[in-house]
Amino acid sequence: MADHIPLYPVRSAAAAAAANRKRAAYYNAAGLGPGADRHSRYQLEDESAHLDEMPLMMSEEGFENDESDYHTLPRARITRRRRGIEWLVCGGWKFLCTSCCDWLIHVCQRKKELKARTVWLGCPEKCEEKHPRNAIKNQKYNVFTFIPGVLYEQFKFFLNLYFLVVSCSQFVPALKIGYLYTYWAPLGFVLAVTIMREAIDEFRRFRRDKEMNSQLYSKLTVRGKVQVKSSDIQVGDLIIVEKNQRIPSDMVFLRTSEKAGSCFIRTDQLDGETDWKLKVAVSCTQRLPALGDLFSINAYVYAQKPQLDIHSFEGTFTREDSDPPVHESLSIENTLWASTVVASGTVIGVVIYTGKETRSVMNTSNPKNKVGLLDLELNQLTKALFLALIALSAVMVALQGFVGPWYRNLFRFLLLFSYIIPISLRVNLDMGKAAYGWMIMRDEHIPGTVVRTSTIPEELGRLVYLMTDKTGTLTQNEMVFKRLHLGTVSYGTDTMDEIQNHVITSYSQTQSQASGNNASSTPPRKAQSSAPKVRRSVSSRIHEAVKAIALCHNVTPVYESRAAGAGETEYAEVDQDFSDENRTYQASSPDEVALVQWTESVGLTLVSRDLTSMQLKTPSGQILTYHVLQVFPFTSENKRMGIVVRDESTAEITFYMKGADVAMSTIVQYNDWLEEECGNMAREGLRTLVVAKKSLTEEQYQDFESRYSQAKLSLHDRALKVAAVVESLEREMELLCLTGVEDQLQADVRPTLEMLRNAGIKIWMLTGDKLETATCIAKSSHLVSRTQDIHVFRPVTNRGEAHLELNAFRRKHDCALVIAGDSLEVCLKYYEHEFVELACQCPAVVCCRCSPTQKAHIVKLLQQHTGRRTCAVGDGGNDVSMIQAADCGIGIEGKEGKQASLAADFSITQFKHIGRLLMVHGRNSYKRSAALGQFVMHRGLIISTMQAVFSSVFYFASVPLYQGFLMVGYATIYTMFPVFSLVLDQDVKPETALLYPELYKDLTKGRSLSFKTFLIWVLISIYQALILTELLMVALTIRTWHWLMVVAEFLSLGCYLASLAFLNEYFGIGRVSFGAFLDVAFITTVTFLWKVSAITVVSCLPLYILKYLKRKLSPPSYSKLTS
């Protein structure tokens, strides 16, 4: 129905035909020729394209557009098609190249077509096709692709490619200007360091993968159970998975040790949802007497082809050896996906998908090689230096007068001045990155932090968008009962003992009443039925509220067997053993468990439950039995659950119901407090549930049951009829209480989020959980501040609805956005640019019901549309795609596994560590690398400037000024220590950076390394030219001295003086060199020392004065804080 919204003028068929005729005439008249292809293209053009031309900000009436506009739209799109050589020159060559590359990649990476399959139980050898190994693989390379892959990653940078070409040129005799090692030694060192670092990273990944793949599972064979590695599991194997064990591959659920034939699994590592999922075993195999009988039957599973959707599955189970053959349809509730965890009992399943074909792996993207923004900026600067190099060489050849083989001279000058682009830049930066990684891991304030990708520590200082998961990242996924509100009185955590006293007294009174009446149930029933008419005491209201909470749920108490018996014999003692320490609760939602645990803490304990009854234990130890007559489960549509129970002692029938306030407010009797109190609790970040009851007579219940059974048997509109019958019960219910449950946040989440917000980082929460839950956590974690409004994006299914809803959202100002995954998909399909633009203006965005691939898609969208750096934080397997897609991925070691932590660039143990990681280490890494990079360039520029002066003096000869080892020594041993000591520099103390996160905003502007700062360094380089100067320049650049910096300065000076003595042939000592005889006596004269000192003072003193004046006249933003 929604597809018929008039988004463009609705026209009759005749009008459309006439329009097409006009349009065809127009194109022919325009000289485009009568080509049938062009004609048909516009004739068949999708009319919905009309929406693309329409401004997004438009009222509903605006959709009725003037028809005449419609015909003029395509004219704007028509441009004269270029032909032949003109097309090739104007970009056609690029198109051809990309097309060829795409085709080659497609041919090389052609994937095997995925097909549906028939899987025989316990017979992997019967599989018709070969299926992938069940191995987890986070590695980027294999043995064959490692060296080519690493070399490609290095030489795609202009800097390294340039040096490779320069080094290769030295094999040509005419171009050789020095020893081979002066070029090949630095390049070889850079490549060796890089290959070693990548090899170590790759080996660590391999070791982590091996650990996961070596986990042992029990495999059922004809000869009994055998232990098998996770990576050796095949399609068709029967695998036994114990409680709290990870499911190794996608399976169909055949059998369980649970009596009910079902079990709960935890899926938060797969989809981010905190609720446990109920899975049902195939009834045909569950009914078999013993485990071994799985091999005595002849059965197979037909499964659809592997696909991305984790919420659906279609298949059939067939047993051929029975008469007639048994066919059972399989759906999502019969599946056990890989990366989920068994929460109850022991399960046996048949493997249907392994390795790359499992849902969890298909929803993760391949890891990409991440390149930091600083590296890209330095790459741009090296290109600018290359242009300067060409210009300088051309000027030299021009001044020579283009004599002789001038092109050879040009190339020799290019080689002489090649030090403008320093090869040591990569060495210094890579060693710097390794040093930052070491510092991060050694920081005692963030223990347990691991740097897994050592190439991008500077990214931590440039982040603008932070995507975070909810479950396990911001929250601990542990629910705690916080508030009980009865309308006139409210109880918090500090007054729960009062509730306990009321419960104890009320049950002791009812017990004495019952014994006084000789177990007659009539008097209490009379009192009970007349109770709503008079104002009941607080004690009786608490009693009713606690009883309702203890009965209205789908929780099952489970008693672990002390004996280590087989899984299927664990249930012998369940009915007798009610010891509290041996009891655990299982339910599909942790909220439910929190409520039942709370009723236990105040004295009313759920001790057993099956499909037809449940038992409660009172504070005095008396067992109350209730018969379960009907259960109406919770769904995301009705947002409430109900239960009808009969009290065994009184035969009284009661209908209890609990649900969200939006659903319950119309069902309960009129009151004046519910809405207000729900709002108050929601502002505290509590998840609220409204609890109500209705007493039924036997006749009322019998009437309801007959109508309900009839509705369940109807063939047409069954769901609607059943809902209508249930709604007839849901009228004028008595409001008992309002409960508030808190999902406990991780330690210091609120101050950390506030710090990140103050640092100018925009935070988006991407979660697979429900909308209400996500909104609650956004409020309680202060992701959305108390003063901000929240705009919940209404569900949209098509273009028209998305158009209207985006307009409604555009009218809101400074409000947080909450949107569900399916609505987001629709918006991105039709209005990608507009949606991202609007969302980026929000102070916070919450995307709920997001699949893993959607999370990664959102990250990529932000990168494309904003061009800013993104960071993703998560703890589960469902966050791996997002972490790998972001510029910087941070994984938190979760309770359920280390998948996110292993795939991330940085692994931390708690969310609060992000603050220090970004504010302190991010800042220092970026500032230090920016200074280091520019300093190394400055060093190369000095040498090139001196070479230019030298060549100019000696008639523009292409002769090197310094020989062999001296050049290598200058770039390494003479100046390396002080220059590298810049990695210890810091402009702001860590305490200040954490106290004033606003300082971080300056980093995101990228002012520490820009063309402006680069040009300043170029001018300084041209002005200076001496080794002593370089050491003094390091001293000039440093902001905070460290004792190692002083050591580095003197060490370098010592190395230089020592080499004067030992490498005298390089320095011209003791031989005639360019007409001047340099001897030790001259070097030690006062004249020589005076001249050197004067030159050094002239080269450095003005820069010191300028630096001092700049600090005084235009101090940096942090100077006031540090003074």
Query: Could you read off the pLDDT of 120-176 as tens digits, one per residue?
Result: 988 888 777 888 889 888 788 888 889 998 998 888 878 788 888 888 888 888 888
Determine the average pLDDT of the residues in 720-725.
89
624-648 in b/e form (b: 16+ CB < 10 A) is bebebbeebebeeebebbbbbbbbe
d(C-alpha 607, C-alpha 595), whole Å: 14
The torsion defined by the Cα of 135, 140, 142 and 144, in degrees rounded to 10, comes to 160
Q: What φ, ψ does residue 748 adopt, rounded to 5°?
A: 55, 30
DSSP state of 917: I
Q: Determine how β-strand 869-874 pairs with β-strand 815-820.
A: unpaired
Can you give the pLDDT at residue 30? 43
Residue 1082 — very low, low, confident or very high, per pLDDT cuts 50/70/90?
low
Q: What φ, ψ does residue 362 adopt, rounded to 5°?
A: -65, -25
Residue 542 has pLDDT above 90, yes or no: yes
Determine the average pLDDT of the residues in 906-925.
94
Worst-scoring range by mean pLDDT, 119-128, 175-184, 299-308? 175-184
Asked if 548 contacts 693 with a C-beta cutoff of 8 angstroms, the reply is yes
* First-to-final CA distance of the chain: 68
Residue 925 has pLDDT above 90, yes or no: yes
DSSP-assigned states of every residue in 550-612: HHSS--EEEE--SS---GGGTTSSTTT---GGGEEEE-S-HHHHHHHHHHHHTT-EEEEE-SS
374-406 in b/e form (b: 16+ CB < 10 A) is bbebbeebbeebbebbeebbeebbeebeeeeee
Can you give the pLDDT at residue 158? 82
Residue 686 — very low, low, confident or very high, per pLDDT cuts 50/70/90?
confident
DSSP state of 508: H
Q: Which of 834, 858, 833, 829 is nearest to 846 (CA)?
A: 858
d(C-alpha 584, C-alpha 244), whole Å: 14
Q: Give me the amino acid identity at 92.
A: G
Quote the Cα angle for 911-914-919, to 5°. Answer: 155
Q: Give me the amino acid identity at 474.
A: L
d(C-alpha 787, C-alpha 302), whole Å: 55
Residue 60 has pLDDT above 70, yes or no: no
**β-bridge partners, 815:** 789
Can you give the pLDDT at residue 803? 94
Can you give the pLDDT at residue 538? 87
Determine the average pLDDT of the residues in 957-974.
68
Asked if 872 contacts 883 with a C-beta cutoff of 8 angstroms, the reply is yes
Tell me which H or E stretch contains 623. Answer: strand 623-632
pLDDT in tens, 635-662: 767 888 999 999 999 999 999 999 988 8
Residue 23 — very low, low, confident or very high, per pLDDT cuts 50/70/90?
very low
Asked if 768 contacts 847 with a C-beta cutoff of 8 angstroms, the reply is no
d(C-alpha 266, C-alpha 278), whole Å: 9
Can you give the pLDDT at residue 68? 34
d(C-alpha 798, C-alpha 831), whole Å: 11
Within 8 A by CB and 6+ apart from 335, the residues are 250, 251, 252, 253, 279, 313
Can you give the pLDDT at residue 541? 92
Can you give the pLDDT at residue 201? 81
Asked if 239 contacts 342 with a C-beta cutoff of 8 angstroms, the reply is no
Q: What φ, ψ does residue 881 adopt, rounded to 5°?
A: -60, -45
Within 8 A by CB and 6+ apart from 276, the residues are 264, 265, 266, 267, 343, 586, 587, 588, 589, 590
Residue 826 has pLDDT above 90, yes or no: yes
pLDDT in tens, 263-284: 889 887 787 666 678 898 998 9
**β-bridge partners, 226:** 219
The token pair at 98 is 């990309």
The token pair at 856 is 């990664």
Helix locations, 248-372, DSSP H: 268-271, 283-286, 359-362
The token pair at 943 is 């040498």
Report CA 847 to chain centroid distance, whole Å.
12
DSSP-assigned states of every residue in 415-457: HHGGGGS-THHHHHHHHHHHHHHHHHHH-TTSTT-EES-TT-G
The torsion defined by the Cα of 455, 460, 466 and 467, in degrees rounded to 10, comes to 30
Determine the average pLDDT of the residues in 402-410.
82
Q: Which of 165, 172, 415, 183 is nearest to 947 (CA)?
A: 415
The token pair at 155 is 């030489």
Asked if 883 contacts 874 with a C-beta cutoff of 8 angstroms, the reply is yes
Residue 567 has pLDDT above 60, yes or no: no
What is the C-alpha R_g of the chain?
Answer: 37
Determine the average pLDDT of the residues in 1002-1023.
79
The single residue of 237, 250, 268, 469 carrying the catalytic annotation is 469
d(C-alpha 514, C-alpha 532), whole Å: 21
Asked if 461 contacts 452 with a C-beta cutoff of 8 angstroms, the reply is no
Residue 34 has pLDDT above 50, yes or no: no
Worst-scoring range by mean pLDDT, 300-314, 343-357, 565-579, 1058-1072? 565-579
Share of the chain above pLDDT 90, in %: 33
Can you give the pLDDT at residue 1034? 62
Helix locations, 769-851, DSSP H: 771-780, 799-810, 821-840
Asked if 745 contacts 780 with a C-beta cutoff of 8 angstroms, the reply is yes
Per this entry, what is the length of the chain?
Answer: 1123
Sheet arrangement for strand 341-342: 277-280, 262-266, 341-342
Between 49 and 454, whose confidence is greater?
Answer: 454
Between 430 and 6, whose confidence is greater?
Answer: 430
Tell me how crowded residue 461 is: count the other CB atoms within 10 A of its CB: 29
Asked if 228 contacts 216 with a C-beta cutoff of 8 angstroms, the reply is yes
Worst-scoring range by mean pLDDT, 86-100, 518-532, 971-985? 518-532
DSSP state of 733: B
pLDDT in tens, 1102-1122: 766 777 777 777 777 666 666
Its pTM stands at 0.70
Can you give the pLDDT at residue 684? 80
Averaging pLDDT over each range in 27-31, 472-476, 591-595, 1015-1019, which range is the top one?
A: 591-595
Residue 360 has pLDDT above 90, yes or no: no
Report CA 978 to chain centroid distance, whole Å.
40
Between 239 and 204, whose confidence is greater?
Answer: 239
Look-up of token digits 């005639």: 1072
d(C-alpha 675, C-alpha 735), whole Å: 12
Asked if 917 contacts 449 with a C-beta cutoff of 8 angstroms, the reply is yes
Q: Give me the amino acid identity at 90.
A: C
d(C-alpha 129, C-alpha 1087), whole Å: 88
Asked if 875 contacts 892 with a C-beta cutoff of 8 angstroms, the reply is yes
Asked if 978 contacts 1052 with a C-beta cutoff of 8 angstroms, the reply is yes
Can you give the pLDDT at residue 1065? 54
d(C-alpha 926, C-alpha 937), whole Å: 17
pLDDT in tens, 217-241: 999 988 889 999 999 999 999 999 9
Annotation marks residue 469 as catalytic: yes
Residue 1095 — very low, low, confident or very high, per pLDDT cuts 50/70/90?
low
Within 8 A by CB and 6+ apart from 438, the residues are none
pLDDT in tens, 658-677: 998 888 989 999 888 998 99
Residue 187 — very low, low, confident or very high, per pLDDT cuts 50/70/90?
confident
Between 960 and 15, whose confidence is greater?
Answer: 960
Q: What is the mean pLDDT of the chain?
A: 79
User: In the Cβ-directed half-sphere of 31, how many Cα atoms lie within 13 Å?
Assistant: 3
DSSP state of 668: B
Look-up of token digits 């019998």: 702
Can you give the pLDDT at residue 1064? 56
